[in-house]
Structure 1
Amino acid sequence: MAKFMDIHRGMKDITAEQLKEAHNADLAIESQENVHFERAWADPGSGDVFCLSEAPSAEAVQRIHERAGHAADEIHPVPLTV
């Protein structure tokens, strides 16, 4: 499976608890699309949230985020890691 990094914008002032809740909402249903969300990061000042996942496609990632109530603004494949 491929890795993806997605970005959610407009989540200014997100708290650690809110980030954890959003991440847990994804984890609760990720198996429906054979997706695994590995980590999430947030910058409360800019309102940007970043999620790293492993999935069969970017579309599968988006479907989980949409069902969890927070569609991604951008999803990028990550073909190389070290």
Structure 2
Amino acid sequence: MPEFMDIHRNMAGLTQEALKQAHEADLAIQSEEDVVFKNAWADPDSGLVYCLSEAPSADAVKRIHERAGHPADEVHPVPLKV
């Protein structure tokens, strides 16, 4: 299954607990779009959040994040990795 990295902006001040809650909201509904969220990282100073997932499409990732209440600003395919 393809992998995707998505970016959320404007989340300055995000706490670890808030990141965990957002990630859990994604996990709760991810199967409805055949998405598997693997990891989430945040920099509360810059307000950037990154999520790595496996999904059938970028649109599936976008739909889950939107429904969970935190739309992604960007979703990028990750075709190569080491």
Matched with 1:40 is: 40
Q: State how far apart, in whole Å, the 2-side matches of 1:71 and 1:44 are.
A: 17
| Aligned residue type for 1:10 | N
1:5-64 deviation line (CA, Å, top 9, x unaligned): 000000000000000000000000000000000000000000000000000000000000
RMSD: 0.3
Query: How big is the shift at 1:75?
Result: 0.4
Q: State how far apart, in whole Å, the 2-side matches of 1:6 and 1:76 are.
A: 6
Query: How big is the shift at 1:4?
Result: 0.1
Q: State how far apart, in whole Å, the 1-side matches of 2:55 and 2:81 are.
A: 15
Matched with 2:6 is: 6
Question: Structure 1 vs Structure 2: percent identity of aligned residues?
Answer: 71
Runs of 4 or more, structure 1, over 4 Å off, are none
Question: Which blocks of at least 5 consecutive residues in structure 1 are unaligned?
Answer: none
Relative to the length of structure 1, the TM-score reads 0.99
Relative to the length of structure 2, the TM-score reads 0.99
Question: Which blocks of at least 5 consecutive residues in structure 2 are unaligned?
Answer: none
Q: State how far apart, in whole Å, the 1-side matches of 2:60 and 2:4 are.
A: 11
